[in-house]
Amino acid sequence: MPAIVLIGAQWGDEGKGKATDLLGSRVDYVVKFNGGNNAGHTVVVGDEKYALHLLPSGILSPGVTPVIANGVVVDVEVLFEELDALSERGVDVSRLKVSLNAHVITAYHRTLDKVTERFLGKRQIGTTGRGIGPAYADKINRVGIRVQDLFDENILRQKVEGALDQKNHMLVKVYNRRAIEAEEIVTELLSYAERLRPMVTDTALLLHQALNDGKTVLFEGGQATMLDVDHGTYPFVTSSNATSGGAVTGSGIAPNRIDRVIAVVKAYTTRVGSGPFPTELFDESGEYLRANGFEFGTTTGRPRRCGWYDAPIARYTARINGVTDFVLTKLDVLTGLAEIPVCVAYSVDGVRVDEVPVSQSDFHHAVPIYENFPGWTEDITGVRTFDELPQAAQDYVLALESMSGSRISAIGVGPDREAIVVRHDLID
Ligand code: GDP
Ligand code: IMO
Ligand code: MG
């Protein structure tokens, strides 16, 4: 029975939220397995626009059970705010389940995120400032606070005191900030316990049983392959595994249960924050993509860096994640361009390289080798079958498919829920 992983193919904001929402009515569980409220997913349903951060996008589909699994870092205050905002708009959020093993983002993680970024100066990552990196660092350092700790006051106090011991020395002596009182943190975290209690459970067991019962489970990745802490453009990455492997460790579901891996890929490329980006545009074409694609961050509002489609990155994503299907989004944004360049390989210090180089210096030096494709001018936002697309748009999609290492099963032609061309069913 289907366990489907859906991940981002590039540097995030590919339209994962919309793709999850598209499948939402046909799945029983949607699981967030990595990241936290650094994610920003915009889903448009009719006249309504939803911005989701910590909650999986599947929450908008009636009947779906949304799950925040162990691999996520949870800012509980943000969680409650997001739940309240959705409830006020009539979304049923009562089925949400949260893992007892998920880690908690506290005020000191948010503070550390901001001060360490400032300290890095021009080497800064450009994080979302939500405390994601410091919370994962504590997890790996074994001084993290988990959701289950909120239900045991003594343990919570010991752990918060332990976590703050070293941090307060750093904050005061290195970063010139005031020390954080353990008791303030403990009081705040304890105040969440009562509301959280009915939502928490052993989500790994829940999902295991759901799969045994023949339910359909969709694992929705936050961020994307090139932001993955192991496989992305380190150190300009997020602090979790955003690739399909992260769905396994981040949920407690074994790898041999995964049936399908869907990667969402934009018909061009964007990136928020610092780090290498070979096809980045600094001219009016970049402005065109930013304006037409409305490329401004859902979480921080920052303008996204824009560039052409990078086929070596798509092939890399196909390989690292075991992609079975691509969902190609935002094809409509390219409408009106006379020519559309696609990066087919790189030149690294004068040598042609066909795959993403593993050496960071080589990737920094990678200059795209482009192939140009003819554009189209017809409005495609109303198109619902592949054959209705203008010939040049069809040719563009087929060219990307032949270069990207897996089939393109669906094509986004507008922000709306309905604006999609399906070529192959993504679930059966
Ligand atoms: P996510 O983080 O991967 O979920 O993506 P975001 O929501 O941050 O960014 C994707 C943006 O593109 C959102 O504003 C979506 O509404 C929008 N979008 C998604 N698919 C399409 C599409 O096919 N065409 C257009 N024009 N917009 C799309
Ligand atoms: P979705 O799920 C785009 C980027 C940040 C920064 C780096 C590290 O909407 O695709 P962090 O706060 O995670 O420590 O920041 O990662 N980043 C994203 N970029 N989309 C996202 O999520 C992102 N989440 C983090 O801009 O460069
Ligand atoms: Mg986003």
Q: How confident is the model at residue 298 (pLDDT cuts 50, 70, 90)?
A: confident
Neighbour tally for 254: CB within 10 Å: 12
Assign 264 to helix, strand or coil: strand
Q: Which of 7, 30, 42 to mutate for ligand 1's pocket (most ligand atoms within 8 Å of CB)?
A: 42
The string of pLDDT tens digits covering residues 108-149 is 999 999 999 999 988 999 999 999 999 999 999 999 999 999
| Residue 11 pLDDT exceeds 90 | yes
Centroid of ligand 1 to alpha carbon of 157 (angstroms): 42
pLDDT for the residue 21: 86
Residue with tokens 């405390």: 131
Centroid of ligand 1 to alpha carbon of 21 (angstroms): 11
The string of pLDDT tens digits covering residues 44-91 is 888 899 999 999 988 999 999 999 999 999 999 999 999 999 999 999
The string of pLDDT tens digits covering residues 269-295 is 999 999 999 999 999 999 999 999 999
DSSP class of 331:
G
Asked whether the CA dihedral 217, 223, 227, 228 is positive or negative, the reply is negative
The closest residue, in CA terms, to atom 13 on ligand 1 is 42
Q: What value does the mean pLDDT take over residues 344-352?
A: 97
Q: What is the dihedral of CA 164, 166, 169, 174, to 10 degrees?
A: -110
Q: With DSSP H G I counted as helix, E B as strand and the rest as coil, what are the percentages for the chain, rounded to 5?
A: 40, 20, 40
pLDDT for the residue 1: 62
The closest residue, in CA terms, to atom 16 on ligand 1 is 415
For 103-198, CATH gives 1.10.300.10
Does the fold of domain 103-198 match that of domain 3-91+203-422?
Answer: no
| CA–CA distances in Å: residue 87 to residues 59, 92, 94, 200, 312 | 11, 6, 9, 19, 42
Topology at the third CATH level for domain 3-91+203-422 = Adenylosuccinate Synthetase; Chain A, domain 3 (3.90.170)
Q: How confident is the model at residue 24 (pLDDT cuts 50, 70, 90)?
A: confident
Q: Where are the domains of the chain?
A: 3-91+203-422, 103-198
Q: Which ligand is nearest to the CA of 266?
A: 1
- Counting from 1 in the atom list of ligand 2, the atom nearest the Cα of 8 is 10
Q: How confident is the model at residue 300 (pLDDT cuts 50, 70, 90)?
A: confident
| Residue 19 pLDDT exceeds 70 | yes
What span, in angstroms and rounded, lies between the C-alpha atoms of 139 and 141? 5
Q: CB under 6 Å to ligand 2: residues?
A: 8, 11-13, 38-41, 125-128, 130, 132-133, 222-224, 227, 238-239, 272-273, 298
Residues classed as catalytic: 13, 41
Q: How confident is the model at residue 383 (pLDDT cuts 50, 70, 90)?
A: very high
Return phi, psi of residue 201, to 5°: -165, 180
- Counting from 1 in the atom list of ligand 2, the atom nearest the Cα of 270 is 3
pLDDT for the residue 26: 93
Assess contact for 385 and 363: CB atoms under 8 A. Answer: no
